[in-house]
């Protein structure tokens, strides 16, 4: 007797396939409408207390059914998004996602493979995506790579290889204490915090991260870097790696990558590039020249869920020296023995190149998105954001009440409302409140940063939906709210 046709047989499959099919079609329809009409809704709104309260309570013991689960999502989750699909979302540094990317995410889950290893087509998809990204950055075919959750994990993987190569001891076996001298790693003061976390996790300690001053354009000061390396060597420390940033999170500055590559060659140091923001801008005609030298890096971290708009999560690490990469992560107990035939055959064992064994099929949304749009369209979206940053900069400079607080790097604009006659403390208070009102009124979602002790609004335009009129609307709202705030005495300090 075939067990699958047993009456009353329980599994996690739908009990009523036609009903599930109808629900699935409804989900797709609702989802497309939701994305198509995103501009008509506020960028963001806070979750009302009664909705927040709906997330309390224990897990159901008995089925509520797929329809009820979807209706709870539609009523309580979908209406209160982070906002990053919206054309006027410019907070932190995010991507918008795409319709095609979302559908690919669904298809990846339908197949539900595990990309730790084995012989199946999904691994070929990831391998091809990595090859495409290597080609894009000018890395040699012999380099290795891995898709990861994002820039943080990509930096961790790259820095792990850097540490293992530079330690002067077998740290996988003996631990970091076996290194003859304490290791040091260099990055500018603008280096992303995830690199510090990585060094902490790698057992080097946050003090191993030497923070090099920047120049007026927020790129790393090469002379200062050289002096710090020399001083550390003289003090008996062991410099192992320089982190160049291709697109800093505060201002979008790109370090001089060729100069860093020269320095690393001269000093015998690993050259890692944190390109979470900017590496994909090699696709953009108006940025590519600033990234010269990235092809000389020993490792590069890049994000695909930021300026390429692949739905979260999608990042990639590339490593020039494939054996060094594999030797940092490969560990093959008998239950993972790679075969020459059958399901465990083939050479594509991505678990040999990173932390995770079980790995999702995130490659599919990247692969299908690149096929759908082609790399050149992504390049045009990136180039347009850079032009929009300068358009916004022009609007700011034209208004006496507005002050550009840093040079525009890539697609990041920092400015503040400054009508004159107020000290920095008062301006900080006004601009803090101004930002909150922009967000709470659902008009626009910039974020903020502090530049040379000035609180400012930070507009990071990684957005394929933003149009010029969106920046006009932002400036209009900033001037209106700013005038109200600076004319009133009720600004909270």
Ligand X SMILES: *Cc1c(COP(=O)(O)O)cnc(C)c1O
Binding site for ligand X (CB under 6 A): 93, 150-152, 192, 194, 245, 247, 249, 274, 276-277, 303, 315
CB-nearer residue toward ligand X: 160 or 486? 160
- 118 or 151: whose CB is closer to ligand X? 151
Distance CA 411, CA 406 (A): 12
Q: Which is nearer to ligand X, 150 or 158 (CB)?
A: 150
**Shortest distance, CB of residue 136 to ligand X, whole angstroms?**
18
Q: Which of 214, 209, 184, 183 is nearest to 194 (CA)?
A: 209
Question: Of 349 and 353, which CB lies nearer to ligand X in the complex structure?
Answer: 353
Closest to 45 (Cα-Cα) out of 440, 456, 481: 440
- 151 vs 166 by CB, closer to ligand X: 151
Q: Closest approach of Cβ 180 to ligand X, in Å? A: 30
Beta carbon nearer to ligand X, 151 or 482: 151
Q: Are 315 and 154 in contact (CB under 8 A)?
A: yes
Q: Report, in Å, the least distance between residue 72 CB and ligand X.
A: 29
Question: Minimum distance between the CB of residue 303 and ligand X, rounded to whole angstroms?
Answer: 5
- Which lies closer to ligand X via its Cβ, residue 84 or residue 486? 84
Complex with ligand X: residue 248 or 439, whichever CB lies closer: 248
Q: How far is the CB of 318 from ligand X (least distance, A)?
A: 15
Q: Which two tokens stand for residue 337?
A: 């023995």
Output the smallest distance, CB 249 to ligand X, in A: 4
Least distance from ligand X to the Cβ atom of residue 245, Å: 6
Distance, in Å, from the CA atom of 183 to the CA atom of 237, rounded to the nearest integer, reads: 6
- Name the CA dihedral angle for 335, 341, 346, 351, rounded to a multiple of 10 degrees: -10
* C-beta closer to ligand X: residue 261 or 410: 410
Q: How far is the CB of 432 from ligand X (least distance, A)?
A: 23
Taking the complex as a whole, the smallest distance from the CB of residue 220 to ligand X amounts, in Å, to 13
Q: How far is the CB of 462 from ligand X (least distance, A)?
A: 10
Beta bridge partners of 316: 147, 302
Closest CA to 214 of 239, 186, 174: 186
**CA-based nearest residue to 415, from 466, 386, 449:** 449
Of 165, 170, 162, 168, give the one whose Cα is nearest residue 187: 162
The widest CA-to-CA distance across the chain, in whole angstroms, is 87
Q: What are the distances in angstroms from CA 250 to CA 408, 425, 447, 450?
A: 10, 21, 10, 9
Q: What are the tokens at 15?
A: 């009990």
Min dist CB 482 to ligand X, Å, is 28
Q: Choose between 130 and 273: whose C-beta lies nearer to ligand X.
A: 273
Q: Which is nearer to ligand X, 428 or 464 (CB)?
A: 464
Least gap, CB of 190 to ligand X (angstroms): 9
Residue nearer to ligand X on the CB measure, 104 or 194:
194
């Amino acid at each position: 007797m075939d067990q699958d046709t047993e009456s009353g047989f329980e599994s996690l499959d739908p009990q009523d396939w036609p009903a599930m099919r109808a629900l699935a079609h409804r989900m797709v329809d609702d989802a497309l409408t939701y994305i198509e009409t995103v501009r008509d809704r506020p960028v963001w709104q806070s979750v009302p207390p009664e909705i927040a309260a709906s997330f309390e309570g224990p897990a159901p013991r008995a089925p509520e059914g797929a329809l009820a689960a979807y209706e709870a999502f539609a009523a309580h989750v979908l209406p209160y998004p982070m906002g990053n699909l919206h054309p006027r979302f410019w907070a932190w540094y995010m991507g918008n996602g795409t319709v095609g990317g979302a559908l690919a995410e669904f298809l990846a889950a339908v197949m539900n493979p595990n990309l730790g290893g084995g012989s199946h087509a999904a691994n070929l998809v990831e391998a091809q995506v990595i090859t495409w990204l290597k080609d894009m950055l000018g890395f040699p075919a012999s380099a290795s790579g891995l898709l990861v959750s994002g820039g943080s994990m990509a930096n961790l993987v790259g820095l792990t290889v850097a540490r293992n190569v530079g330690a002067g001891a077998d740290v996988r076996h003996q631990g970091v204490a076996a290194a003859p001298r304490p290791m040091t790693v260099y990055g500018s003061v603008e280096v992303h915090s995830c690199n510090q976390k990585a060094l902490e996790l790698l057992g080097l300690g946050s003090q191993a991260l030497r923070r090099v001053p920047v120049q007026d354009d927020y790129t790393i000061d090469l002379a200062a870097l050289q002096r710090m390396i020399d001083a550390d060597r003289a003090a008996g420390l062991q410099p192992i790696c320089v982190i160049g940033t291709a697109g800093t999170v505060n201002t979008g500055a790109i370090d001089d990558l060729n100069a860093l590559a020269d320095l690393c060659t001269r000093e015998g140091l690993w050259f890692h590039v944190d390109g979470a923001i900017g590496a994909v801008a090699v696709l953009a005609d108006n940025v590519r020249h600033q990234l010269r030298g990235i092809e000389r890096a020993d490792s590069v971290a890049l994000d695909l869920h930021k300026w390429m708009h692949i739905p979260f999560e999608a990042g990639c690490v590339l490593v020039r020296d494939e054996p060094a990469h594999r030797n940092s992560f490969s560990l093959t107990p008998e239950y993972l023995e790679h075969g020459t035939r059958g399901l465990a055959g083939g050479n594509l064992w991505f678990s040999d190149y990173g932390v995770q064994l079980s790995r999702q099929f995130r490659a599919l949304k990247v692969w299908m998105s690149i096929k759908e749009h082609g790399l050149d369209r992504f390049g045009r979206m990136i180039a347009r954001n850079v032009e929009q940053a300068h358009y916004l900069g022009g609007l700011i400079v034209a208004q006496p009440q507005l002050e550009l607080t840093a040079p525009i790097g890539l697609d990041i604009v920092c400015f503040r409302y400054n009508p004159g006659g107020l000290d920095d403390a008062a301006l900080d208070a006004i601009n803090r409140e101004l930002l909150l009102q922009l967000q709470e009124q659902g008009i626009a979602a910039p974020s903020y940063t502090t530049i040379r002790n000035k609180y400012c609004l930070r507009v990071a335009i990684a957005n394929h939906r933003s149009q010029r009129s969106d920046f006009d609307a932002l400036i209009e709202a900033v001037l209106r709210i700013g005038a109200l705030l600076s004319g009133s005495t009720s600004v909270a300090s």
